[in-house]
A and B are shown apart, each in its own frame.
Chain A
C-alpha cells in the first residue's frame, strides 16, 4: 500500500514524513526545499506501508520543475491514500489545491498542520464542518511536535481499508456547462485513460490551457484541440477574461466560500516575532543585521573550530614518530600507516571541528525562516547581475554543499536563471572548501584574512554573474516568493539535520580521505608522485606554489577537502607555514576555491544543466581560478 503526502510548499509534508521514516528528508523553513520525492517504508500499529513525500506544489497546474515532478508522480503512480497536508494558518489558499486534488477522485485525507499557528493568528477552524462539506476526513496536527500524527495515520490506514472518494465541485453554471460539454467529448475518446486522470480533471485542465495536456493531445488529435478552443472562447466571451483566469477565479471563489463558512476569526495574538521583520527587513537595519548575523556566524565557526583543531592534530601526529621508529622510515608499511593516520587526522582534526559548527549554524538559519528574508533584501542586488531574489537560496545552500544547491536551482522559473545560478553555486565555497579557508587561511594567517577571502569570493561571484548575464541577456521573470512566519527551531530537528549532512561526509568522505592518503603514500614510496607533479607543474609554477602541491589538486577534484588534508602529507610537514609562505597559502586557497567542481557536483550538473554546459562550467571556473590565483600571487 502507498500513502502519498501532497501539499503546498512549506506546509510540513517533510516534517510528517521524517516523523514516521526517521530523519531522511531535509526540512527547513522556506518554500521549495524538497525538489524530488523521497519514499520510505513505515509501520504503524503493526501495519506497514510505503510513504512518499512529494515536493510542494501550489496547484496542479505546474510550472517549476519541482512542482512538475509532484504532479507527474501523482498522475503516474497509484496512490492508495493521498494525504493532503495544509498549513492551517493559510487554509484559504491551501483549499485551492485541495479542490484540484479532489478532482482526481482519489481516496483523500486532509491534515490541517500547524493548527497552533492558525490559532495564534486568530483562525479557529470548524474541522467537522469542513470534513462534512468536502466529504473527506479532516485531522488536525502540529507536525514538528509530533502532535496529532497518530490520529492522522489511524485515519489514513482506515481510509486505505475502506476508501471513500469525494468529488466535491460546484463551479458557476456556465463553467460547469463548459466542463460537462468537454467531458462528453473526452468520454468518447481514450485520452483520460491514456493520461491516467479523471474526465473532469482533464476537462478542467484543458479549459485552463494547461500546456502539458494540450501538447500531449495535440500530437495525436489536432481537431480535438479546436473543440477545446471553442469552449475556451465561449467562456472568454461570456466573462471577458482569459479562460485560465475564469477557472482559477472560480476555484479561488469556491475556496474562499468554504473558508468563510468553516472559519471563525478572532483577534490575533501579538507576538515578539511580529516585530522582528520591522528590523530584519528594514531598508537600512535589515542590511546591517544581515552583515551582523553573518559576522556572528563566522566567529562561531572559527572559534569552535580553532579550539578543537590543534589538540586533535597533536593527538594524531604523536603516533607518527613512534611508527617511524618501529617500522623504519622508508618501508612500505610505514607509508601505509602514515597514510591512514594522515587521512584520519585530516577527517577528524581538520575538517570536523569546522564542519560541525558550520552545519549547525546553517541549519539554524534555515529553520528559523531567515533565508527568504535574505532573498527579499538581496533582490535588487541580484537584479543587477541579471537574476532575482530567489536565486540567493541556492547560493546560500552552496555554502553547505554544492550538490543540493545545484538541485535547489529548480525553484527558479527560467532555464537561463537556473543555468547561471548553477554555475555561480559551484564557485561558492562549500563546507569542504570552507574548512580549507578556516584550516589554512584563518589558522595560519588569522581570521581577518579569512573574512577577506569570503568577501573577495562574493565579489568574484557577482562579477561572474554579471559576465554570464551579459553572455545570455534575457530578462529574469521576477521574484514571487512567500515569506513564511518565523519558527523557533527544535533542537532535536536541528541535530538530526546536522547529523544527516555529517553522515554523508563521514560515510563518503572519510573512506576517500583515508584511501587518498594511502594512495599518496604509495605514490611517494614508488616515487610516482613526482611524475604527476611534473605534469601539473605548468600550473604550480605559474602560481608560484611548491611543485609537490600538484598532486593534491588532482585529489581535490574527488573531494575538495582532500586538497588541503593531503597538502600536509604531500609537503611532508605537519606545520604548513614552515614550507609555504603566506602568499603561497593565499594563492593556493584562492585557486582551490574556484577551480573545477568536484566529481559529485559534475555529476549533478550534467543531470541539471546538460553535459555541454557542464563542460563550459568546468572551463569557466578553471580559467577564473588561474587568473585570480595568478593575481593573488602578484598582489598579495
Chain B
C-alpha cells in the first residue's frame, strides 16, 4: 500500500517509493540521505499539523508537513 509519509503511524518502518515535487525538494532530501528505495523509521508523527520526525540511516531529520506529504512510502510488513 502506497501512502504519503504524513499518514504513517509513528513507530513504523517504511520504504520510500517516490518523491513528488521538483528538483529542489528532491535534491534537498537526497542530501540528507532520503532517496527512493531507502527505509525510514517514523519516530514522531506531526502534532497539530506540525512536522514529522524521521530516522534515516541512524540520523534524525525533521520534515515539515508540506515536505512529508510529498514523500510517498510503502508500509513494510
B32 touches A480 (CB 8 A): yes
A245 touches B24 (CB 8 A): no
B11 adjacent to chain A (CB < 8 Å): no
B27 touches A379 (CB 8 A): no
A90 touches B57 (CB 8 A): yes
B28 touches A479 (CB 8 A): no
A429 adjacent to chain B (CB < 8 Å): no
- Of A56-64, A217-225, A452-460, A522-530, the segment with at least 4 beta carbons within 8 Å of chain B is A56-64
Given that A89-B58, A380-B51, A389-B51 are known contacts, is A245 also in contact with B63, CB under 8 Å in the complex?
no
* Residues of the B chain whose Cβ atoms lie less than 8 Å from the Cβ of A383: 49, 64-65
* A residues 301-335 touching B (CB-CB < 8 Å): none
Q: What is the CA–CA distance of A603 and B61 in the complex, to the nearest angstrom?
A: 35
B64 touches A388 (CB 8 A): yes
* B residues 1-36 touching A (CB-CB < 8 Å): 23-33, 35-36
Which of B30, B31, B33, B65 has the most chain A CB atoms closer than 10 A to its own CB? B31
- B42-61 interface bits toward A, Cβ cutoff 8 Å, 1 = contact, 0 = none: 00101111110100011111
- A472-513 interface bits toward B, Cβ cutoff 8 Å, 1 = contact, 0 = none: 000101111111110000000000000000000000000000
Q: What is the CA–CA distance of A245 and B61 in the complex, to the nearest angstrom?
A: 20
A565 adjacent to chain B (CB < 8 Å): no
A483 touches B53 (CB 8 A): yes
A90 touches B58 (CB 8 A): yes
Name the CB-closest residue of A to B24: A63
- A579-606 interface bits toward B, Cβ cutoff 8 Å, 1 = contact, 0 = none: 0000000000000000000000000000
* Residues of the B chain whose Cβ atoms lie less than 8 Å from the Cβ of A485: 60
Q: What is the CA–CA distance of A241 and B23 in the complex, to the nearest angstrom?
A: 12
Given that A379-B64, A380-B50 are known contacts, is A482 also in contact with B59, CB under 8 Å in the complex?
yes
CB < 8 Å neighbour of A379 from B31, B32, B50: B50
CB < 8 Å neighbour of B60 from A58, A242, A380, A482: A482
* Residues of the A chain whose Cβ atoms lie less than 8 Å from the Cβ of B58: 89-90, 121, 123
* Residues of the B chain whose Cβ atoms lie less than 8 Å from the Cβ of A484: 60
Given that A209-B23, A480-B64 are known contacts, is A281 also in contact with B44, CB under 8 Å in the complex?
yes
Given that A63-B24, A244-B27 are known contacts, is A478 also in contact with B65, CB under 8 Å in the complex?
yes
* Residues of the B chain whose Cβ atoms lie less than 8 Å from the Cβ of A121: 58
A413 adjacent to chain B (CB < 8 Å): yes
A59 touches B31 (CB 8 A): yes
A36 adjacent to chain B (CB < 8 Å): no
A252 adjacent to chain B (CB < 8 Å): yes
* Residues of the A chain whose Cβ atoms lie less than 8 Å from the Cβ of B49: 380, 383
Tally of contact residues, A, Cβ under 8 A? 42
B41 adjacent to chain A (CB < 8 Å): no
B60 touches A480 (CB 8 A): no
- A370-409 interface bits toward B, Cβ cutoff 8 Å, 1 = contact, 0 = none: 0010011101100100001100000000000000000000
Q: What is the CA–CA distance of A121 and B33 in the complex, to the nearest angstrom?
A: 18
A46 adjacent to chain B (CB < 8 Å): no
Tally of contact residues, B, Cβ under 8 A? 33
Q: What is the CA–CA distance of A546 and B11 in the complex, to the nearest angstrom?
A: 62
CB < 8 Å neighbour of A90 from B25, B26, B36, B59: B59
Q: What is the CA–CA distance of A277 and B62 in the complex, to the nearest angstrom?
A: 13
A249 adjacent to chain B (CB < 8 Å): yes
* Residues of the B chain whose Cβ atoms lie less than 8 Å from the Cβ of A477: 24-25, 66
B31 touches A389 (CB 8 A): no
* Residues of the B chain whose Cβ atoms lie less than 8 Å from the Cβ of A90: 57-59
A249 touches B37 (CB 8 A): yes
B66 touches A245 (CB 8 A): no
CB < 8 Å neighbour of B62 from A61, A248, A375: A375
B30 touches A248 (CB 8 A): yes
B61 touches A376 (CB 8 A): no
B23 touches A249 (CB 8 A): no
B36 touches A249 (CB 8 A): yes
B75 adjacent to chain A (CB < 8 Å): no
Name the CB-closest residue of A to B31: A58
A92 touches B36 (CB 8 A): no
B65 touches A380 (CB 8 A): yes
CB < 8 Å neighbour of B59 from A63, A93, A245, A277: A93
* Residues of the B chain whose Cβ atoms lie less than 8 Å from the Cβ of A92: 33, 57
B67 touches A93 (CB 8 A): no
B32 touches A482 (CB 8 A): yes
Given that A90-B58, A281-B53 are known contacts, is A248 also in contact with B35, CB under 8 Å in the complex?
yes
Top 7 A-B pairs ranked by shortest CB distance? A58-B31, A283-B47, A479-B64, A478-B64, A478-B66, A380-B50, A483-B60
Can you list 26 pairs linking A and B with CB atoms under 8 Å apart? A59-B27, A59-B30, A59-B31, A63-B27, A93-B33, A121-B58, A242-B23, A244-B23, A245-B26, A248-B27, A249-B30, A249-B36, A283-B47, A283-B50, A376-B53, A379-B64, A380-B49, A383-B64, A383-B65, A389-B62, A478-B63, A478-B65, A478-B67, A480-B61, A482-B62, A483-B62
* 15 extra interface residue pairs, beta carbon distance < 8 Å, beyond A479-B62, A483-B62: A63-B28, A89-B59, A90-B59, A242-B23, A245-B30, A375-B62, A379-B51, A389-B64, A477-B25, A477-B66, A480-B28, A480-B61, A481-B62, A482-B62, A483-B53
Q: Which residues of A contact B (CB under 8 A)?
A: 58-59, 61, 63, 89-90, 92-93, 96, 121, 123, 209, 241-242, 244-245, 248-249, 252, 277, 281, 283, 372, 375-377, 379-380, 383, 388-389, 413, 475, 477-485
